[in-house]
Amino acid sequence: MSMPYVSIKRLVDNSLAAMLAAVEVYNKPQMTYRDEVTVMLIVNGWELALKATLRQKNRSIFYPKQRGERYRSVGLDDALGRVAANSLWPVGIDGPAVTANIKALAEYRDRAIHLYNAQGLGAVIYPFLQQNVLNYRDFMLAKFKKDLADSMTWQLLPLGATAPADAVQFMKVDKNATMVAEVQDFIAELRRLMDDAESAGSEMTRVATVYDINMQSVKKMTSADLVVAVSSTADGQVVLRKTDPNQTHPFSMTELLDKVNERHEGRKLTTYDYQAICWKEPLRENTKYAWKHSSGASHVWSGDAVSYLAAMTDDQYDSIRVEYREHLRG
């Protein structure tokens, strides 16, 4: 039996359909089993998107065929591993951080499928869900020129009869309360995933983002936040995202180069490479990568900048250096 034909277009279309269905289900005013269904659809959407990415580069999405059995397509973990092994994460998207986010949701899905249920865990998973949709939009736009925003509004805010729960306060350990062992184990697994991502120097804002009741993004989320409550703001302003440059752009130029060299596959990059790439591309003008206070002397850099620069090849840097040298001579 020959390997089955797989349509990349069908994979992409089905992936987008799964993600849109997840958002629609989550925003229904009356829906039981909401969190579980939403997470299942989101994880399915990612698995299809990752397989489309592998097929786009003519990589196999099947396990080796066993005698007397049909071909089996790879699961989510293997798809994530193959995308990473083939360096298929888009430039500017931190693959390890996005992987940690997806695996956190997959962990929740696996427990839900196996009859696990705990009242209120939706508040725990919400920061991961919200960031996942943003990660997915960036990924699909970079890989397939498909913008999730074309099919939905980003101004949609959840409305309810009561204020939404503070996810981090919910996760705060209360030793006087009776906590199901399964819940403790789930939170421990979330901590492990986030610790691994942070240890790898990943862009933690890609893992989970905590919002206060005004839907303001107040900070990036780390494993420490699973036991520490987050202060809320109450100035009445409603925005989609509000970022603190001290958290989103924590690296000086020297720290940026150090982080890039830790992940760059090639020669060690120097300040000359930094100067050349900043001359060639308007990185300093792009707030996704750089930020400078109006009275500051130098720029600070984000994790996205680390990912972008680390993904460039030596040939690209060498070509830019030649152009920059000619520019200086001229």
User: Three-state SS for 176?
Assistant: coil
- Indicate if the pLDDT at residue 69 is higher than 70: yes
Nearest by Cα to 268 from 310, 321, 301, 324 = 310
Beta-ladder partners of 301: 251, 290
Please say whether the beta carbons of 53 and 88 come within 8 A: yes
Given the DSSP bridges, would you call strands 209-211 and 217-220 parallel, antiparallel or unpaired? antiparallel
* Between 86 and 113, the higher pLDDT residue: 86
**How far is it, in rounded angstroms, from Cα 107 to Cα 129?**
13
Q: What is the pTM of this model?
A: 0.62
* Structural tokens at position 106: 């997959």
**How far is it, in rounded angstroms, from Cα 205 to Cα 94?**
10
Nearest by Cα to 50 from 103, 9, 89 = 89
Of the listed ranges 18-22, 172-176, 201-205, 249-253, the least confidently predicted one is 172-176
- Percent residues over pLDDT 90 in the chain: 36
Question: How many C-beta atoms lie closer than 10 Å to residue 56's C-beta?
Answer: 14
Residue 180 confidence (pLDDT): 52
Average pLDDT, the chain: 78
pLDDT per residue as tens digits for the range 120-140: 566 677 888 888 998 999 999
User: Three-state SS for 32?
Assistant: coil
Query: Position 35: which residue type?
Result: D
